[in-house]
Amino acid sequence: MAVPDFQSIMLPLLKFASDKRDHHIKEARDYLASYFDISDDDRRKLLPSGKQTAFQNRVGWARTYLKQAGLLEDVGRGIFKITERGLDVLGENPEKIDMELLEKFDEYQEFKHRREEPGDKTPDAVDASDKTPEEAMFQAYQTMRQELASELLSSVKQCSPEFFEKMVVELLVGMGYGGSLKDAGEAVGRSGDGGIDGVIKEDRLGLDTIYIQSKRWEGTVSRPEVQKFAGALIGRQARKGIFITTSDFSSKAKEYVVKIESTIILIDGEQMAQLMIDSGVGVSISETYDIKKIDTDYFEEE
């Protein structure tokens, strides 16, 4: 059998995880290949980019959308399991699981809205024929970028606090602070650091120092936590700080940093993941496309 589309893979994939155990994505691919009776040749067929098989790609997207709808959840790098919601959906004995079914879950709706272009009111269900090729490509790019951000954030949450602290410094260096990792920044993160997890130079010359607090949290970061960081800055006679977390900040925390004398920038998990993509931290280029247009000057005749 030829490789099925990713929506056809969703229900068998969810049923595969129904034993409530942790499963590696490779284990799932092996099961699905057997389930759909996919030949070895079909399983090895590559995408046009030549960098991934079509089967691997479609299983990955099936898992992605099930996760965004809260039917699956990550428990480690490449490891996932079914959620209570996923079990409830299977308990309804659906004939299929597709994008239409996932629409009823708020988390999936939020995922869709996050990947839409700001100000774009076009419904996501608009037929592709209503879009120009450029618009369709941009929408596909936004979808893949948002999913990449989600995968990045999930991976970061699985890392150790020590790795996270060093990664934050590397991210800021990648954004242009300080020049190089060797002399620009250091991860502190040890007992007695006074609430400071990292230090980085503002520029290559080190004209000013920026202090970092990093929290690999699931819950919302509240105002008291930000206040502690502000106090740590005062204790070091510092004027600038960055507080970065894998979760988000409460409204009171955001209001607080606007009113204080020190400059503290708050970066939540979603912003962090987007900055990682822009700065090339934790990601690599899968494919590059050059969009060309006709050079009208070339055809000008004197």
13 close to 62: Cβ distance less than 8 angstroms: yes
Q: Please give the DSSP secondary-structure letter assigned to residue 126.
A: S
238 close to 199: Cβ distance less than 8 angstroms: no
55 close to 42: Cβ distance less than 8 angstroms: yes
Average pLDDT, integer, range 128-143: 70
Question: Which tokens is 101 given?
Answer: 């079914």
What's the predicted TM-score (pTM) here? 0.69
Determine the pLDDT at residue 135. 65
Per the model's pLDDT, the better-predicted residue between 126 and 31 turns out to be: 31
277 close to 149: Cβ distance less than 8 angstroms: yes
Grade residue 124 by pLDDT with cuts at 50, 70 and 90: very low
Determine the pLDDT at residue 240. 92
CA 175/CA 272 separation, integer angstroms: 11
CB contact set of 221 (below 8 Å; sequence gap of 6+)? 215, 243, 245, 247, 248, 249, 250, 253
For 50, the 3-state DSSP assignment is coil
CA 252/CA 129 separation, integer angstroms: 45
Q: What percent of the chain has pLDDT over 70?
A: 86
Q: Which amino acid is at 115?
A: R
List helix spans (H) across 220-264.
223-235, 251-259
pLDDT tens digits for range 204-238: 777 788 899 988 888 899 999 999 999 999 988 88
Question: Which tokens is 226 given?
Answer: 């930000």
pLDDT tens digits for range 8-63: 999 999 999 999 999 999 999 999 999 999 999 999 998 776 778 889 989 998 99
Determine the pLDDT at residue 133. 67
Determine the pLDDT at residue 297. 77
| Other Cβ atoms within 10 Å of 197 Cβ, number | 26
Grade residue 138 by pLDDT with cuts at 50, 70 and 90: confident
| Other Cβ atoms within 10 Å of 202 Cβ, number | 16
Q: Could you give all domains of the chain from N- to C-terminal order, each with its CATH number? A: 6-114 (1.10.10), 161-279 (3.40.1350.10)
